[in-house]
Structure 1
Amino acid sequence: MNKIIVYEHPDFHGLSMEFTDDIPNLVQKSFDNCISSVKVIGHPWVLYEHLYYKGLQWVYEEGEYRNVSRHDIVSSLRLITEDLSDPKITLYEHSNYKGKEIVLTCETNLCYSSFDDMASSHIVQKGAWVLYEHPDRGGRCITARYGERVPDYGALSFHDCVSYLRPLKPGKGTVTAEVLLEKKEEKVTSVIIDSICGLNSTDHEQTFSTSLSKEYESTITENFSFSNSTTISAGTTFSLDVFEVKNTFTLSVSNTFKVEKGKSESHTETRKVNITLPLIIGPHTKLSVSVIRKEVDVEVPVKLTITRGKHSVIEYGEYRCHSGLSLETEYKEEKI
């Protein structure tokens, strides 16, 4: 979801309204010239001084802004919808894309180049950009969007003014996860974690009334790994619907595993198993009872659909789970 919440007063006080589409005329929404703070979710928004996207403009990326640049002056709003993942812009020295040119793909201070206060036209090949009059994002600014060809800055009163520019960044976006169960890999190992022994050296059957009850601590550890080239930023969260393995060694995991980029999650559970010796052990017989933990390791690829604005990309990650919660006992008799 891409939206902006606008507030009448600073610090998110007073009346508020929420928008998810371009608003060319805030008069029709009864919210003209009264915005003083905003919250942006998803892609950036541009705020304009006048109706129908005219006059001064200010750009706000995802975040919370307790004070906008100019209070009580905004009359229209526009959502940036472009794919912002791979920006590129070409600036030209003269109008109609003539003279010297410079191609940029990242935030740049033109004061450190030979192109300061020189641009008079541009073409945006990818993404969306903000062009500033002064260094460090100062002075007036204009937005430049994908596919846009501006042959002459004269109409914008921006000839030979650009000293700084930056590409707009996408919001965190939404992530949808699909577990690819058909590609699941599973490995089960058995580990003896305890044993007890009963011994009958006589020529007669021997009766026992001994029982043993102990608690054993076992763990489940779940984690999620992203591809090395992931575009998902730290702090992004999404839920993963976790499966259950339908066999003898069922994974006792939560139905939903919450993934957060930059963190791993694990938890410990305590399981109790009761071990009871048989009442009768035969003559010259040794009885061994072992407590066995079945450890299950599962790896499953996960398809991630990342949606930012109106654009979606697909990546792959991997869910991993190690479970040692399956405990059982094994009895073995030997003649002595």
Structure 2
Amino acid sequence: MYIRTSFIKAITGANSVEHIDKSSKMAKPFIPQIIFYEDRNFQGRSHECSSECSDLSSYFRRCNSIRVDSGNWILYEQPNYRGHQYFLHRGEYPDFQQWMGYNDSIRSMRLSPQHQGSFRIRIYEREDFKGQMMEFTEDCPHVHERFHHHDIHSVHIQE
């Protein structure tokens, strides 16, 4: 069993402020990026953003697909951060149903606040935080080597 480092980082936001370029081992500043497309499957007019925007209506009339290159974003159906909210992380969303949208209206967005610093995660072999438990405070590329159960049924994020 393997829990991806990106999974733990996505849950906690830990280490999301910097990106390490593996080839140069140099820290680069984290630059969030999201791309909105008017049509499904990343077609039609597009608009790139790397910071929050309280009113997107001047950039596009509808939003039917989104590509999140980096960052965790909160999207809103109405201007000024109102209406239904959608939380998107890195990935491709070829139509609004992929992000559980009710329609093709995205009118404002902002970066999701990130937790910086240490984290503590407890995994449990059974539902409702029961059974064998193991606590993690750092990345673990092979959970099965440390937690000898094949299934994880509940997770408690403490910090």
TM-score band, normalised by the shorter chain?
0.5 to 0.7
**Shift in CA distance, 123/111, structure 1 to aligned 2, threshold 3 Å:** closer
1:105 maps to: 50
Name the % identity.
23
- How far apart, CA to CA, are the structure 1 residues paired with 2:32 and 2:60? 19
Letter in 2 for 1:137: Y
Q: How does 1:139-218 map to 2 (within 5 A)?
A: 139-146=83-90, 148-155=91-98, 156-174=100-118
Across the aligned residues of Structure 1 and Structure 2, the Cα RMSD in angstroms comes to 2.8
Runs of 4+ in 1 over 6 A off after TM superposition: none
Q: 1:89 to 1:80 in 2, by over 3 A?
A: farther
Q: After TM superposition, give the deviation of residue 167 of structure 1 in Å.
A: 1.2
Find the structure with the greater CA-based Rg.
1
Q: Is the 8 A contact 1:91 1:121 kept in 2?
A: yes
Q: 1:86 aligns with which of 31, 37, 42?
A: 31
Q: Report the secondary structure of 1:79's partner residue.
A: helix
Q: 1:111 to 1:145 in 2, by over 3 A?
A: closer
Q: Are 1:124 and 2:68 counterparts?
A: yes
For residues 89 and 166 of structure 1, the distance between their equivalents in structure 2, rounded to whole angstroms, comes to: 10
* Greater per-residue strand proportion: 1
* Secondary structure of the corresponding residue to residue 86 of structure 1: coil
* CA distance 1:80–1:159, change in 2 (3 Å): farther
Equivalent residue runs for 1:1-336 within 5 Å: 79-81=11-13, 83=16, 85-111=30-56, 113-116=58-61, 118-146=62-90, 148-155=91-98, 156-174=100-118
Shift of 1:158: 3.7
Shift of 1:169: 2.9
Contact 1:120–1:158 (CA under 8 A) maintained in structure 2: no
Which residue does the alignment assign to 2:153?
A: none
Q: TM-score, normalised by structure 1?
A: 0.27
Report the Cα distance in structure 2 between the residues aligned to 1:133 and 1:160, rounded to whole angstroms: 8
Where structure 1 has 5 or more consecutive residues not aligned to the other structure, the ranges are 1-20, 23-42, 44-77, 175-308, 311-336
Contact 2:54 2:81 in 1 (8 A): no
- 1:109 is paired with a residue whose SS is coil
State the partner residue of 2:152: none
**Alpha-carbon shift at residue 86 of structure 1 (Å):** 1.9
SS in 2 for 1:159: coil
Q: CA deviation at 1:112?
A: 5.3
* Cα distance in 1 between the residues matched to 2:80 and 2:12: 22
Higher relative helix content: 2
CA 1:163–1:124 in structure 2 vs 1: closer, same or farther (change >3 Å)? same
Structure 2: distance between partners of 1:97 and 1:130: 19
CA distance in structure 2 between the aligned counterparts of 1:130 and 1:114, rounded to whole angstroms: 18
Partner of 1:323: none
Q: Point out where structure 2 has 5 or more consecutive residues left out of the alignment.
A: 1-6, 18-29, 119-137, 140-159
Contact kept, 8 Å, 2:77 with 2:83, in 1: the verdict is yes
Change (3 A) 1:137 1:121: same
CA positional deviation for 1:115? 1.5
Give the 3-state SS of the residue equivalent to 2:51 in structure 1: coil
Count how many residue pairs are aligned between Structure 1 and Structure 2.
100
